[in-house]
Amino acid sequence: MASNFLYSTRDHKFILKEWLEVGKILSLDAYKDYYSVDDIDNILEQAFKVAKEVAAPTRDDNEAIQARFENGKVTVPPSFKELYWFLNENGWGASNEDDEAEGHLPQVLFRACGEYLAGANAAFMPYILASAGAAGLVASFGDERVKGLFKEKMFSGEYAGTMCLTEPNAGSDVGDLLTKAYPTDEKGVYRIKGTKCFITGGEQDITENIVHLVLARVEGAKPGTKGISLFAVPKMRVDETGNITGSNDVQCVGIEHKMGIKGSATCVMSFGENNECQGYILGNPPDEEGRGEGMAQMFQMMNGARAETGHAALAETAVAYYNAVAYTVERVQGRPITNPKSERVSIIKHEDVRRMLLDMKAHIEAMRALIFKTYFDFDILHSSPDEEDIKKAKAALEVNTPLIKAYCSDKAWELTAEAMQCFGGNGYSEEYPIAELCRDVKIYSIWEGTNFIQSLDLVGRKWMMGKGKVFAAWLAEIEGFASDNAAHAVLEKEMAILKRAVDAYREIQNTIAGYAMGGNIPMMPLYATRILHATSELICGKLLVEQAVIAQKKIDELGSDHYDYAFYNGKVNAARYYVHNIVPNIFRTLEVIKDGDTSVLDIDEGAFQY
Ligand SMILES: Cc1cc2nc3c(=O)[nH]c(=O)nc-3n(C[C@H](O)[C@H](O)[C@H](O)COP(=O)(O)OP(=O)(O)OC[C@H]3O[C@@H](n4cnc5c(N)ncnc54)[C@H](O)[C@@H]3O)c2cc1C
């Protein structure tokens, strides 16, 4: 209850107009006839208005009405249906993900708009985002027939979409899935049979059709992830003229009763209970060795969803933060430690409350910097003609995606708790918005691959990409920045800490490599989560200081009387806070990993019972 959509567009304007070279994206062929940098403010303000006036009022229905499963049917709050159609019909929905659509926004700009919508009602957004991601898979990998059947209606929002990986016995270990696909006489069409669970938007009463993107194993294909294929499985069968011809034997058999995001229908789905479920394979059938293309294809949607997950975590954390700021200005309690006999003051004056607020602000800006740098790279990768730029962007995207997913979601859980702390007892009460935000953000560390899976991706795969050269270049860029700016008049100390952090990070890598070479393999998964956090703190520290350099220049030009001084002052202090208080976690991580404590491995399993 008590949603309160408080947000600011200022940091996005800084990111898009003063920090990242968004002009470079907007001058690419895909965008140059439609947008210029001068349009940015207007687009952001429009999106903000939609978020505040159209999306935010639906938020309370997450808890008041919720998604429901009754008499075999799933219903969502009626306000969600109106919001779904409003967003799709006004260009804020799946249509923007259609690369071929005239006038679509680049990701770096569209996602800023999406952040306000996620802040306004994060539980609603997967109805749009999953549909857009599924449409992208159909567009990328479907043959002409599949595209003809589904693509346009998915991008317009007329048909929704889902991603169906998880099964009761195959969660993190998706390679163990049991859903089967049997070839039929019709080329490309398979009979699907199996059960999927935890499917977001698996059923709802918003759209007449839902196209499920289902991972399944063609009969006889290889075990494990290698043998998996991907299928477009509509809830309702459709003919070539676009008419719905009947049911496709896809049933929702129940929904989860969750801790948060209660308006989002999380469904158990049965495919082919009556052996009548048809699925269209995307790409090629398994090759002669039984290798399918499904897992690699699904990664397109998963990588997008991982970034969206981190971004939604950030958006909800920011709402909690802005509410905490408003509350701490209003709430009067206690007197300054330096003047105990004075009048009582707003709690924002107290040192520890300011610490909590700056901790939230610095992390929020750090996460936002990482996310938007990554969406910028995404646009370069997809639209730039420059081979060298594309190569660099692809590498950064690979490394940064697991960081966005896991770091932002882990932090969201901690930071919304900090926001609650700012509210004192009122934070724990349902009359204020923080309790619901805390409940909502927990999901982000779990879905789209738990955060451990992201850490494994980082240390097990991204560190090794291109024989380690990709990651080495990623590190060298941070080091280069700190060295080039070592003598900065105001940020010299921060540059020095960053430089030392890069050295420590290399030592972390060497220490883990040493354990591996000595045959001590479990040390890698044992420390992977800490390493992901250290990696995120390193890149976030660099990006914040990069922003602080720009902000400091502005302060020098404008002086402290300028109306925008507070914003730039905030940027410099957020960077200082982060580098002095958060980046040193990297030194501690190195110390811990070098120490190499193995109590986690040594403890007797029976000891956990006590
Ligand atoms: C609200 C919600 C919505 C969801 N939406 C979707 C959806 O739309 N589509 C979909 O396909 N799925 C969806 N999921 C499923 C989600 O992706 C899985 O819950 C998640 O991947 C984890 O799988 P699991 O629940 O089986 O946990 P498990 O795999 O059983 O993991 C439990 C714990 O063990 C750890 N663990 C597992 N294996 C290892 C290992 N090898 N080494 C170390 N640690 C390990 C995990 O990190 C985790 O901490 C959703 C889940 C929820 C709760």
Kindly report, residue by residue over 38-60, the tens digit of the pLDDT: 999 999 999 999 999 999 999 99
Owner of token pair 């932002």:
408
Examine the pLDDT at 1 and tell me if it is beyond 60. Answer: no
Instruction: Using most ligand atoms within 8 A of CB, pick from 166, 233, 299 the residue to mutate for ligand 1.
Output: 166
Ligand 1 contact, 445 CB (< 6 A): no
Predicted TM-score of the model (pTM): 0.97
Catalytic residues: 448
DSSP 165: -
Going by alpha carbons, the residue nearest to atom 46 of ligand 1 is: 450
- Work out the average pLDDT over 379-408: 96
Residue type, 386: D
- Work out the average pLDDT over 290-311: 97
CA 228 – CA 291 distance, rounded (Å): 7
Ligand 1 contact, 576 CB (< 6 A): no
What percent of the chain is modeled with pLDDT above 90? 98
What pLDDT, on a 0 to 100 scale, did the predictor assign at position 173? 95
The conformational region for residue 211 under phi > 0 = left, psi -120 to 50 = alpha, else beta, is beta
Atom of ligand 1 nearest to the CA of 202: 8
Residue type, 28: L
Distance set, CA 321 to CA 324, 417, 548 (Å): 5, 10, 21
Atom of ligand 1 nearest to the CA of 201: 8
Atom of ligand 1 nearest to the CA of 166: 11
Ligand 1 contact, 216 CB (< 6 A): no
Atom of ligand 1 nearest to the CA of 172: 29
H/E element, 159: strand 159-164
What pLDDT, on a 0 to 100 scale, did the predictor assign at position 101? 86
Instruction: Using most ligand atoms within 8 A of CB, pick from 204, 295, 446, 453 the residue to mutate for ligand 1.
Output: 446
Owner of token pair 């007449």:
208
Of 104, 164, 113, the C-alpha closest to 134 is 164
DSSP 172: S
What pLDDT, on a 0 to 100 scale, did the predictor assign at position 46? 97
Ligand 1 contact, 447 CB (< 6 A): yes
68-97 exposure pattern, b = at least 16 Cβ within 10 A, e = fewer: ebeeeebbbbebbbebbeebbeeebbbbbb
- Work out the average pLDDT over 377-398: 96
Within 383-517, strands assigned E span none
Cβ atoms of 20 and 2 within 8 Å: the answer is: no
What pLDDT, on a 0 to 100 scale, did the predictor assign at position 482? 98
What percent of the chain is modeled with pLDDT above 70? 100
Owner of token pair 């009582």:
344
CA 424 – CA 212 distance, rounded (Å): 44
Going by alpha carbons, the residue nearest to atom 25 of ligand 1 is: 171
β-strand pairing of 209-218 with 159-164: parallel
> 166 CA to middle of ligand 1, Å?
8
- Work out the average pLDDT over 24-51: 96
Going by alpha carbons, the residue nearest to atom 19 of ligand 1 is: 447
Ligand 1 contact, 133 CB (< 6 A): no
> 168 CA to middle of ligand 1, Å?
10
Ligand 1 contact, 163 CB (< 6 A): yes
What pLDDT, on a 0 to 100 scale, did the predictor assign at position 100? 86
Interval 421-458: pLDDT, tens: 999 999 999 999 999 999 999 999 999 999 999 999 99
Distance set, CA 72 to CA 75, 167, 261, 270 (Å): 10, 20, 21, 12
User: pLDDT band for position 25 (50/70/90)?
Assistant: very high
> 61 CA to middle of ligand 1, Å?
27
Examine the pLDDT at 605 and tell me if it is beyond 70. Answer: yes
Examine the pLDDT at 117 and tell me if it is beyond 70. Answer: yes
For the chain, give the mean pLDDT. Answer: 97
Going by alpha carbons, the residue nearest to atom 49 of ligand 1 is: 450
Examine the pLDDT at 349 and tell me if it is beyond 60. Answer: yes
Examine the pLDDT at 291 and tell me if it is beyond 70. Answer: yes
Cβ atoms of 484 and 338 within 8 Å: the answer is: no
Ligand 1 contact, 266 CB (< 6 A): yes
Instruction: Using most ligand atoms within 8 A of CB, pick from 198, 228, 440 the residue to mutate for ligand 1.
Output: 198
CA 138 – CA 152 distance, rounded (Å): 10
Cβ atoms of 417 and 434 within 8 Å: the answer is: no
Cβ atoms of 206 and 76 within 8 Å: the answer is: yes
Cβ atoms of 314 and 305 within 8 Å: the answer is: no
> 198 CA to middle of ligand 1, Å?
9
Atom of ligand 1 nearest to the CA of 446: 20
Could you tell me the two tokens for 426?
Answer: 């009122």
Interval 156-181: pLDDT, tens: 999 999 999 999 999 999 999 999 99
Ligand 1 contact, 195 CB (< 6 A): no
Going by alpha carbons, the residue nearest to atom 26 of ligand 1 is: 171
Atom of ligand 1 nearest to the CA of 173: 29
H/E element, 362: helix 351-383
Ligand 1 contact, 258 CB (< 6 A): yes
CA 346 – CA 337 distance, rounded (Å): 13
CA 523 – CA 432 distance, rounded (Å): 43
**Residue 595 burial (CB < 10 Å; 0-12/13-18/19+)?**
exposed
3-state secondary structure of 232: strand
List all residues 6 or more positions away from 38 whose beta carbon is below 8 Å from its beta carbon: none
Could you tell me the two tokens for 541?
Answer: 């520290």
User: pLDDT band for position 225 (50/70/90)?
Assistant: very high
Owner of token pair 């700016």:
485
The conformational region for residue 383 under phi > 0 = left, psi -120 to 50 = alpha, else beta, is alpha
- Work out the average pLDDT over 388-399: 96
Ligand 1 contact, 451 CB (< 6 A): no
Distance set, CA 13 to CA 45, 116, 554 (Å): 10, 13, 14
Atom of ligand 1 nearest to the CA of 126: 8
Owner of token pair 């346009």:
152
Ligand 1 contact, 36 CB (< 6 A): no
> How many residues are present in the chain?
610
Secondary structure tally for the chain: helices H, strands E: 20, 12
Ligand 1 contact, 571 CB (< 6 A): no
Interval 531-564: pLDDT, tens: 999 999 999 999 999 999 999 999 999 999 999 9
> 457 CA to middle of ligand 1, Å?
15
Residue type, 432: Y
Examine the pLDDT at 3 and tell me if it is beyond 80. Answer: no
Interval 459-503: pLDDT, tens: 999 999 999 999 999 999 999 999 999 999 999 999 999 999 999
What pLDDT, on a 0 to 100 scale, did the predictor assign at position 2? 53
Cβ atoms of 255 and 268 within 8 Å: the answer is: yes
CA 238 – CA 154 distance, rounded (Å): 13
Examine the pLDDT at 371 and tell me if it is beyond 90. Answer: yes
Atom of ligand 1 nearest to the CA of 261: 1
CA 600 – CA 610 distance, rounded (Å): 15
Instruction: Using most ligand atoms within 8 A of CB, pick from 447, 457, 529 the residue to mutate for ligand 1.
Output: 447
Going by alpha carbons, the residue nearest to atom 32 of ligand 1 is: 172
Instruction: Using most ligand atoms within 8 A of CB, pick from 214, 450, 457 the residue to mutate for ligand 1.
Output: 450
**How many Cα atoms are found within 13 Å in the side-chain-facing hemisphere of 288?**
0
